[in-house]
A = this chain, B = another copy of it.
């Protein structure tokens, strides 16, 4: 991963970070990746002690405003803003810890949902031969096999975030994962890198889906 830039520290910097998250939310909504208040977006605002800027729960991402971005600590306590953080904030925190990520983005697109059902249970989608893979941090050639694991979904966030932590430990090279019937998680050292990873993995999910390579028709 590229080395994270020093993180913003002032109040106006938080507003700036929140504005960037909100703009990405509106853009992804327009593309159909965050319909129906689905998905959540976060960026690390301070590393020590950990502070996360994260979307509040239940928001219409088509009208997402900077003021709707919360500041939470490592225990998901809200330090700034109104509303409660997404139930999935614990997954964001798991990814931030395991990858030292600067941003975690979670989308609910049609194609990532469709291809997340390729197998009856868990498994890895293997993606290889695409130039687009080079946009994933650290990948230098299309001649690479990217593993995109599929985790079973759960409403038990303790269970699910534990499995996410194990997955990231076991797969040090992955850039994202799918939750079955649910959507995509990806991350980056910076918000721009995480956004790029969303676009790339969503693109590849669509390519796999449209070419029939990752659609179960059983």
A-to-B contact residues, CB < 8 Å: 27, 31-32, 35-38, 60, 62, 108, 110-111, 113-114, 117, 129-132, 135, 140-143, 153, 155, 179-183, 192, 195-197, 199-200, 202-203, 206-207, 209-212, 215-217
Residues of B within 8 A of A35 (CB): 199-200, 202-203
- Tally of this chain's copies: 4
Chain B, residue nearest A210 (CB):
B114
Closest 6 CB pairs of A and B: A131-B182, A36-B199, A36-B200, A35-B199, A36-B135, A129-B181
A196 touches B110 (CB 8 A): no
Residues of B within 8 A of A110 (CB): 203, 206-207, 210
Q: Known contacts A210-B209, A215-B212: does B130 contact A181 (CB below 8 Å)?
A: yes
B179 touches A38 (CB 8 A): no
A142 to B108, CA, bound (A): 13
A37 touches B135 (CB 8 A): yes
Partner of A143 from the list B113, B114, B155, B215 (CB cut-off 8 Å) is B155
Known: A129-B181, A132-B182. 11 other contacts (CB 8 A): A32-B203, A36-B199, A37-B196, A110-B203, A110-B210, A117-B211, A131-B153, A131-B183, A140-B155, A143-B155, A211-B215
Residues of B within 8 A of A143 (CB): 155
Chain B, residue nearest A136 (CB):
B36
Chain B, residue nearest A118 (CB):
B211
- The residue in A62, A130, A197 that gathers the most chain B C-beta atoms within 10 A of its C-beta is A130
Smallest CB separation, A201 vs chain B (Å): 9
Residues of B within 8 A of A153 (CB): 129, 131, 142
Chain B, residue nearest A201 (CB):
B36
B179 touches A131 (CB 8 A): yes
A181 touches B108 (CB 8 A): no
Chain B, residue nearest A155 (CB):
B141
Residues of B within 8 A of A132 (CB): 36, 38, 108, 113, 182
